[in-house]
Structure 1
């Protein structure tokens, strides 16, 4: 970083901590007022909804939770858990029951050799790869992929429109992203394998959050991993590089749930959500959350459910 790395990082971390606290992210998300912690399953008549530690996942989890509650299902929320590496074990031990997921990366989590990239092929392979106690419900048309993003200035200076264009320059560039991106099959290993792109340095930041956006804007990293529905891309005029060799597989939004909690009422409610969720309105949900009023994920979800007749 060019000037005051420590000062900027400290300020960003402080802002992130405040944001997470405002979203109910304080403390251990796998603990509840009932005293349950990781490893303690919820009652049979309760669906515990979890989320990853970024706003889009929290919004989707709120949509699931509020819709189920409106249908009379007893719901408990344990949001902002962390990465997939943290919440999948919680699903498997029953600490949580339901979480919004992304088809392609979920498939690669359970089958690291998976090479399917098209939406239907990914969905079919995913159903076969899941452990016996987990099931996915209908996938939505909404899709949010990881993407390699650069500033407009960098794209112009290097004359790049795709990851393939970037590959000859990778050795001179610092890349930023969430810690797990360094080892995931479609992360740094996939980019190296698919495009022969080996970055000068990997800088561990956050999952499509303020640290990554700030580092890219400030030039502390020259390329970064962001989600394609992230409102900061349009706000900052970032450039999403094309992925012509399909390093990033289809990433349709779908519910991942413990099979024992997938009752008819739960399935019908979540499948109805899937019919209404699109990439366009997912991007709009992120933009609303990032807007000047900074509404909570709970409020953003409530508005969307009302607008779509699901409240």
Structure 2
């Protein structure tokens, strides 16, 4: 419990931001779903056949896995909050629509006749009589939708929409159960609080419910105004992928920029996977993020004709082509290469005489691999191992941090890795030599849109101190400090900059 509290206190500012983001996502989605579902249910009471069809369609939407739905929405809407809100609204529609429709159609016909006998107009009958009688059903549907939305909203972190899911993802990535607990417990508490608050409205009048609705709407608008106040005259958003290393790098960018200019840096750490950041950069949601030369070649370029494995030639080719294709500027890289690697336990390598990737052929029948989805699908990943090394073995797809736990527990005996991963040291793994040179150089460098550099040309000079700096050993050690010793990435980044005279204390 003490460690949980310590972790919470250390990240209280991030926690507050995550809670606000989670409430904004959940409330906005719920209010939109209510505004859509209740009027639709009222309309459908006059069209029974159409009602059956609509209810079936909305019910089918709920069977679509949330990750699949988010994946389908990304090409259409992009990343961040919009696709998350659309997905949450889709999930919330069915319980509200079904319960409202049921409540309105289950009213005793004799009561309907009595209302008409009192001379009520159709509108008066709906507002003063039918909705009041159906209220318990409607509130029950809203309660169900609310719990569902708050729980599902944790997945919004996967597409850069923030919320409490960022704590869960970060905890999984860093094998930190306390971060996972903070995210999961907070989400559950929010669901309970909202559920209880809505329960209190079950016996309220329609007018009071509308008043509560307006208060919630005002609070929501106010929170968005507060968190989206007009930015300072000079502000950029720097984002990083999931993991300790990107988090360290973007904190270095922030310190160097803010210490030597009047530009304010808004950080978005653990923003998501490669494709999410690249799409966010293209859409202007973020301004800068650290990317690797090999990734630019293998993932972003539509017509990669590079045949060199020389780090300098690869960088220059990547810089030239990404400029032509996307009008993006790729600043000078750091020294280290965080290239892909294939790793095994040291004991397994010694038992089987494994020194190179090619040596895996002699133990191919024994191999069980834990690879990330990205590595499995890349030409410079498992596909390349199959083509260049003629290797085929049992492969399980895993999240990055989970594959290390799997090899440590001997559930798998070979994993993909990055050459600077702290887990190599932590779990006593050895990298097998890429003797056929499958993996291209992977040097990290800031990637940004050309218009951002035109607006802030000083960025190139501000980030210049990192050019050609940081060795693989230094990066691996910094990753170890964050992942294993649980040090704050901002502190690790600051200490490195001070130690190497790039920044004053």
Shorter-chain-normalised TM-score: which range?
Answer: 0.7 to 0.9
CA contact (8 A) 2:287 2:452 kept: yes
Query: Aligned pair in 2 of structure 1 residues 221, 296: CA closer, same or farther (>3 Å)?
Result: same
Query: Aligned pair in 2 of structure 1 residues 281, 177: CA closer, same or farther (>3 Å)?
Result: same
User: 5+ unaligned residues in a row in structure 1: which ranges?
Assistant: 1-11, 37-41
Aligned residue for 2:237?
Answer: 48
CA contact (8 A) 1:168 1:197 kept: no
In the alignment, structure 1 residue 239 sits paired with structure 2 residue 430: yes
CA contact (8 A) 1:32 1:78 kept: no
Q: Which structure shows the bigger proportion of residues in helix conformation?
A: 2
Choose from 139, 142, 158 the match for 2:352: 158
CA contact (8 A) 2:372 2:399 kept: yes
Choose from 251, 265, 271 the match for 2:442: 251
Q: Distance in 1 between matches of 2:310 and 2:498?
A: 32
CA contact (8 A) 2:271 2:277 kept: yes
Highest CA radius of gyration, 1 or 2? 2
Q: Distance in 1 between matches of 2:448 and 2:431?
A: 32
CA contact (8 A) 2:258 2:265 kept: yes
CA contact (8 A) 1:22 1:296 kept: no
Aligned residue for 1:176?
Answer: 370
* Offset, 1:19: 4.2
Q: Mean Cα displacement is larger for which, 103-112 or 181-190?
A: 103-112
Q: Distance in 2 between matches of 1:246 and 1:144?
A: 15
CA contact (8 A) 2:244 2:483 kept: no
Q: Distance in 2 between matches of 1:101 and 1:33?
A: 32
* Offset, 1:237: 2.0
Q: Secondary structure at the match of 1:51?
A: strand
* Offset, 1:43: 8.1
Aligned residue for 1:58?
Answer: 247
Choose from 120, 123, 130 the match for 2:315: 123
Q: Distance in 2 between matches of 1:266 and 1:191?
A: 39
Query: Aligned pair in 2 of structure 1 residues 204, 303: CA closer, same or farther (>3 Å)?
Result: same
CA contact (8 A) 1:231 1:287 kept: yes
Q: Secondary structure at the match of 2:463?
A: helix
1:117-159 per-position Cα deviation (integer Å, ceiling 9, x unaligned): 2101211220132133311101121111111000112112322
Q: Distance in 2 between matches of 1:32 and 1:273?
A: 37
Q: Mean Cα displacement is larger for which, 243-252 or 170-179?
A: 170-179
Q: Distance in 2 between matches of 1:57 and 1:281?
A: 14
CA contact (8 A) 1:152 1:238 kept: yes
CA contact (8 A) 2:172 2:180 kept: no
The aligned length equals 286
1:66-91 per-position Cα deviation (integer Å, ceiling 9, x unaligned): 21111222111111112112111001
Aligned residue for 1:228?
Answer: 419
Q: What TM-score comes out, normalization by structure 1 length?
A: 0.83
Query: Aligned pair in 2 of structure 1 residues 22, 253: CA closer, same or farther (>3 Å)?
Result: farther
In the alignment, structure 1 residue 289 sits paired with structure 2 residue 482: yes
Aligned residue for 1:5?
Answer: none
Aligned residue for 1:109?
Answer: 299
1:93-108 alignment, distance < 5 Å: 93-108=283-298
* Offset, 1:108: 1.0
CA contact (8 A) 2:247 2:270 kept: yes
Q: What is the CA RMSD across the aligned residues, in angstroms?
A: 2.8
Q: Distance in 2 between matches of 1:83 and 1:21?
A: 22
Q: Distance in 2 between matches of 1:272 and 1:32?
A: 37
Aligned residue for 1:214?
Answer: 405
* Offset, 1:286: 1.4
Query: Aligned pair in 2 of structure 1 residues 179, 151: CA closer, same or farther (>3 Å)?
Result: same
Q: Secondary structure at the match of 1:77?
A: strand
Q: Secondary structure at the match of 1:79?
A: strand
CA contact (8 A) 1:110 1:129 kept: no
Query: Aligned pair in 2 of structure 1 residues 295, 33: CA closer, same or farther (>3 Å)?
Result: farther
Aligned residue for 2:196?
Answer: none
1:251-278 per-position Cα deviation (integer Å, ceiling 9, x unaligned): 1121111222223321011122124322
1:31-53 per-position Cα deviation (integer Å, ceiling 9, x unaligned): 997359xxxxx888321100000
Q: Secondary structure at the match of 1:127?
A: helix
* Offset, 1:20: 7.3
CA contact (8 A) 1:147 1:241 kept: yes
Aligned residue for 1:91?
Answer: 281
